[in-house]
Amino acid sequence: MTVLERQGQAAKSAGRTLAIAGTAKKNAALEAIARALIEKQDLWLAANAEDVAAAKEAGIRPAMLDRLTLTPERIADIVAGVRQVAALPDPIGVVTKMETRPNGLIIGRRRVPLGVIAIIFEARPNVTVDAAALCLKSGNACILRGGKEAIRSNRAVAELMRGALESVGLSADCVSLVQDTSHETADELMNLTAYVDVLIPRGGANLIRSIAKNASVPVIRTGEGVCHVYIDSEADLDMGAKILYNAKCSRPSVCNAAECVLVAQDVAAEFFKKALPLLKEKNVELRCDEAALSLIGGDAVAAAEADWDAEYDDYILAVHIVKDAAEAIDFINTHGTGHSESIITKNYFTAQHFLDAVDAAAVYVNASTRFTDGGEFGLGAEIGISTQKMHARGPMGLEEMTSCKYVIYGEGQVRE
């Protein structure tokens, strides 16, 4: 048996106990984790400083370095998130349907944990805690596999969480970290069907597509974020410029950041006069089609075909001019990843058609795509943004991390 198989076996066993632990025990574990992160944050910060130093030496991009870096303020936010999860209603045991059949059988449907959830993610040590907290509250054991850039940070915080679990009488193996960050171990984890019930990748498009292609464990695809903002011919252009700036620049390395702006040709020249000064504040590189390039000129470069499908995770924005909303919708449905799309318009009917016709998990009218988030949607924390259509779509909160079982009460009924 390999190291990972033993880890999976331990998680499976711990998960069975966690599934019936009850709300009070799970909340006690989450509070113990929150206290440990505050009281021992110096250990986590010291480990993270080593990761950051190594990443700088390796020449990691600034946007990715920002994802990797922890501060006391960020840890305080992470701790607040753990306590927020503890305060959320427990989905486990909730009966979603109950009816009496003509033969007298009472048949109900009850929420239960998925089981063991494996999560493969990149250089974001906060994900280690967010994922563990959500899995614990929803009664799921988790096996976490982060990227090599954050391995010291992840090891430190995983040990803090495991100790907190034991302090309240739960198995440390409810949360475990894959210590080896090699591709071989990732491949083994995504095919650990004997122990892992579902795999959730969190990271860039290449990671997610590779896992979806190679995994034999069921995969929930999350986070592929080629998001668009469409500026309609009847848009409030000042509003549109501010929304685009927020969608692109507030945090370009996250999956709900805009990667492409589509502009109706009738308002393109006027819109660029309003939007370009804002984008220049962050030195956003513009990659434009021929029509946009002729209007913007020296402040932009010509787009390649690959730019229409690119998730930059950086201060780069693709710019495409379209004839009208119909062309914008067609472009989005061709090049989008089903994450988040936004239209800026004052025309109610155009907005409604956009909502109906665009195929994405979250579709906005006159608002930034950056709101696609479990906290902003009132779900508390989230495990990711699902871009698929089965079981869960959009921000995945606690309810999306459960399955159902049927429970049947009888009084001696037998089938004829």
Residue 63 has pLDDT above 80, yes or no: no
Q: What is the pLDDT of residues 278-331, one digit of tens each?
A: 999 999 999 999 999 999 988 799 999 999 999 998 999 999 999 999 999 999
- Angstrom CA distances, 351 to 125, 322, 358, 366, 368, stand at 38, 16, 11, 9, 15
For 61, the 3-state DSSP assignment is: coil
Per-position DSSP letters for 301-350, written without gaps between them: EEPPGGGGG----SSEEEEEEESSHHHHHHHHHHH--SSEEEEE-S-HHH
Find tokens 């069907």 and name the residue: 193
Q: Where are the chain's structural domains? A: 3-222+383-409, 227-371
pLDDT band at 9 (very low <50, low <70, confident <90, very high): very high
Cα separation of 231 and 316, whole Å?
Answer: 18
Find tokens 């929803």 and name the residue: 138
Which of 35-44, 131-140, 208-217, 349-358 shows the lowest mean pLDDT across its residues? Answer: 208-217
SS3 helix, strand, coil % of the chain, rounded to 5? 50, 20, 30
Question: DSSP class of residue 200?
Answer: E
Q: What is the pLDDT of residues 111-163, one digit of tens each?
A: 999 999 999 988 788 889 999 999 999 999 999 999 999 999 999 999 999 99
Q: Does domain 3-222+383-409 bear CATH number 3.40.605.10? A: yes
- Mean of all residue pLDDT scores within the chain: 94
Average pLDDT over every residue of 159-178: 98
Determine the residue type at 169: G
Burial (CB count <10 Å: 0-12, 13-18, 19+), residue 343: buried
Q: What are phi and psi of 144, to 5 degrees?
A: -105, 130
Residue 276's CB is within 10 A of a number of other CB atoms, namely: 16
Give yes or no for a contact between 385 and 255, defined as CB atoms under 8 angstroms apart. Answer: yes
Q: Smallest Cα–Cα separation from 259: which of 204, 206, 328, 317?
A: 317
pTM score: 0.84
- Angstrom CA distances, 319 to 150, 232, 323, stand at 34, 14, 14
Give yes or no for a contact between 406 and 109, defined as CB atoms under 8 angstroms apart. Answer: yes
Percent above pLDDT 70 for the chain: 100
Cα separation of 143 and 205, whole Å?
Answer: 21
Residue 381 has pLDDT above 80, yes or no: no
Reading the block at residue 246, the tokens are 């927020």
Class (C level, CATH) for 227-371: alpha beta
Q: What are phi and psi of 346, to 5 degrees?
A: -100, 0
Q: Smallest Cα–Cα separation from 176: which of 190, 162, 186, 195?
A: 162
Res 128: pLDDT = 93
Q: What is the pLDDT of residues 73-124, one digit of tens each?
A: 999 999 998 999 999 999 999 999 999 999 999 999 999 999 999 999 887 8
Q: What is the pLDDT of residues 192-240, one digit of tens each?
A: 999 999 999 887 777 788 888 889 999 998 878 899 999 999 999 999 9
Res 33: pLDDT = 98
Cα separation of 307 and 51, whole Å?
Answer: 31
Query: What's the half-sphere exposure (Cβ side, CA atoms, 13 Å) at 62?
Result: 5
